[in-house]
């Protein structure tokens, strides 16, 4: 098994407090993984560690075979509520191009290679048809597609998303989830998704990191979608239901 992310007795402290500890697991390459846990359990903190923005307090963390480094082009990242901070005049294409140029706005014409990469990223998420429109004039689901395109412009091996379905209606949630599943299948991309609600993602998840009782765990999704585990995790009774078609979903008991 090829490994995308490896935690070896990892813990993380912030402001003198233990956020979580005893992280001992590996995430295989090509996996689509939910990162779940109650509010304040350290889900976003885990992504920040993988991105190299925070160092483990103890233990060893490896990402794509090396210690995490800030700005690793092999990792794409879509922060929480990313599109809410974008100005009204920014076009979709401009936003994706910033994934290459950083904050360098309007410094001459794009090189042909750069243009090709932007076109390819937009095409990969089905955003070519509205690439010239302003971000403020497209739907929330389309905005999220463009945010993913920016994260993909360097053709990363690992994609991290922090609550990508927040504030989307059910149709747009379904479309974004389908997109992430298709990207992983087509390219072998490893995807980590911080999520409050597992249900919209269950059709594509292969595993989950769950932050339980101050510790970090990982298991295949079939082992995590368990009434006892999820009820303990969220502190309320959770029921797991299987439809006649074989699909799983969870609900409050």
pLDDT digits (tens, 9 = 90+) for 126-170: 999 999 999 989 998 999 999 999 999 999 999 999 999 988 999
pTM, 2 dp: 0.91
pLDDT surpasses 90 at 65: yes
Task: Give the tokens for residue 20.
Answer: 């979580």
pLDDT surpasses 50 at 36: yes
The average pLDDT across 97-110 equals 62
The average pLDDT across 182-205 equals 94
The DSSP bridge partners found for residue 27 are 5
- Distant-in-sequence, close-in-space partners of 125: CB < 8 Å, separation ≥ 6: 145, 146, 148, 149, 152, 179, 183
pLDDT surpasses 60 at 104: no
pLDDT surpasses 80 at 248: no
Q: Where are the beta strands (DSSP E) in 44-146?
A: 58-63, 75-78
Domains along the chain with CATH numbers: 3-74+156-252 (3.40.50.300), 89-154 (no CATH)
pLDDT surpasses 70 at 34: yes
Q: How confident is the model at residue 1 (pLDDT cuts 50, 70, 90)?
A: confident
- pLDDT tens-digit profile of 200-228? 999 999 999 999 999 999 999 999 999 99
Residue 202's CB: how many other CB atoms inside 10 A? 17
Q: How confident is the model at residue 107 (pLDDT cuts 50, 70, 90)?
A: very low
Euclidean distance between CA atoms 106 and 110, whole angstroms: 9
The average pLDDT across 46-70 equals 96
State residue 85's pLDDT score: 67
State residue 58's pLDDT score: 96
State residue 88's pLDDT score: 72
Q: How confident is the model at residue 84 (pLDDT cuts 50, 70, 90)?
A: low
State residue 113's pLDDT score: 84
- Could you tell me if residue 95 is left (phi over 0), alpha (psi between -120 and 50 degrees) or otherwise beta? alpha
The average pLDDT across 45-56 equals 96
The average pLDDT across 40-53 equals 95
Question: For the stretch 12-23, what's the b/e string if a residue is b when 16 or more beta carbons lie within 10 angstroms of its beta carbon?
Answer: beeeeeebbbbb
Question: For the stretch 208-231, what's the b/e string if a residue is b when 16 or more beta carbons lie within 10 angstroms of its beta carbon?
Answer: bbbbbeeebbbeebeebbeeebbb
pLDDT surpasses 60 at 18: yes
Residue 187's CB: how many other CB atoms inside 10 A? 15
The DSSP bridge partners found for residue 192 are 33, 160
The average pLDDT across 44-54 equals 96
26 by DSSP, 3-state: which? strand
């Amino acid at each position: 098994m090829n490994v995308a992310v490896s935690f070896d007795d990892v813990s993380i402290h912030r402001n003198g407090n233990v956020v979580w500890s005893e992280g001992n697991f590996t995430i295989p390459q090509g996996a689509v993984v939910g990162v779940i846990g109650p509010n304040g359990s350290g889900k976003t903190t885990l992504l920040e560690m993988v991105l190299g923005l925070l160092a483990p307090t103890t233990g060893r963390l490896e990402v794509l075979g090396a210690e995490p480094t800030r700005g690793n082009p092999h990792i794409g990242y879509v922060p929480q509520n990313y599109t809410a901070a974008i100005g009204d005049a920014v076009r979709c294409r401009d936003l994706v191009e910033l994934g290459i140029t950083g904050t360098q706005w309007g410094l001459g014409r794009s090189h042909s290679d750069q243009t090709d990469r932007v076109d390819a990223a937009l095409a990969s998420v089905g955003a070519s048809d509205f690439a010239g429109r302003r971000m403020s004039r497209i739907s929330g689901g389309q905005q999220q597609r463009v945010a993913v395109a920016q994260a993909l412009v360097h053709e990363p091996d690992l994609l991290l998303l922090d609550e990508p379905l927040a504030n989307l209606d059910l149709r747009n949630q379904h479309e974004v989830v389908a997109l992430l599943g298709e990207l992983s299948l087509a390219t072998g991309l490893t995807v980590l998704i911080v999520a409050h609600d597992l249900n919209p993602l269950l059709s594509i998840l292969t595993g989950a990191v769950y932050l339980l009782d101050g510790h970090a765990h990982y298991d295949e999704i079939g082992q995590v979608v368990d009434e006892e585990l999820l009820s303990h995790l969220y502190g309320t009774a959770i029921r797991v239901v299987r439809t006649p078609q074989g699909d799983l979903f969870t609900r409050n008991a």
